[in-house]
Structure 1
Amino acid sequence: MKINSEDYWSERYRNGSTGWDMGGPAPALTAYADQLTDKSIRILLPGAGRAYEAEYLFRAGFTALTVIDIAAEPLADLKARVPEFPESQLIPADFFEFQGGPFDLILEHTFFCALPPALRSEYVRKMAALLAPDGKLAGLFFSFPLTEQGPPFGGSAAEYRALFSPYFEIKTLEQATNSIPPRMGNELFFIFELPEQQL
Structure 2
Amino acid sequence: MNEFYWQERWEKGLTGWDIGYPSPPITEYVDQLLDKFKTILIPGVGNGYEACYLKEAGFKNVHVIDIAREPLEHIKTRCPDFEDSHLIHGDFFKLEGYYDLILEQTFFCALDPKQRNDYRDKIYELLVPGGKLAGVWFTFPLTEKGPPFGGDPNEYINMFSDKFDIKVAEPCYNSIKPRLGNEFFMILQRPAH
- TM interval, shorter chain, is over 0.9
Distance 1:65 1:82 in 2: 12
Establish whether residue 94 from structure 1 lines up as the match of residue 91 from structure 2.
yes
Distance 1:141 1:16 in 2: 23
Which residue of the other structure, out of 75, 79, 89, is the alignment partner of 2:76?
79
Give 5+ residue unaligned stretches, structure 1: none
Which residue of the other structure, out of 162, 175, 180, is the alignment partner of 2:176?
180
Distance 2:36 2:155 in 1: 33
> 2:126 corresponds to which residue?
130
> 1:44 corresponds to which residue?
41
> 1:193 corresponds to which residue?
189
Establish whether residue 25 from structure 1 lines up as the match of residue 8 from structure 2.
no
Cα distance, 1:147 vs structure 2? 1.1
- How many corresponding residue pairs? 193
**What do residues 154-188 of structure 1 show as CA deviations (whole Å, max 9, x unaligned)?**
00111001111010011111010110100000000
Cα distance, 1:139 vs structure 2? 0.2
SS at match of 2:101: strand
SS at match of 2:4: helix
**What do residues 81-138 of structure 1 show as CA deviations (whole Å, max 9, x unaligned)?**
11111111100000001111x1110000000000000000000000000001110000
> 2:115 corresponds to which residue?
119
**What do residues 46-95 of structure 1 show as CA deviations (whole Å, max 9, x unaligned)?**
11111110000000000111100000000000100111111111000000
Aligned-residue RMSD, C-alpha: 0.6
Distance 1:162 1:32 in 2: 23
TM (norm. structure 1) is 0.96
TM (norm. structure 2) is 0.99
Give 5+ residue unaligned stretches, structure 2: none
SS at match of 2:72: helix
Cα distance, 1:196 vs structure 2? 1.7
Moved over 3 A (4+): none
- Residue identity over aligned pairs, in percent, reads 55
Which residue of the other structure, out of 58, 62, 66, is the alignment partner of 2:63?
66
Amino acid at match of 2:61: A
Which residue of the other structure, out of 14, 22, 42, is the alignment partner of 2:11?
14
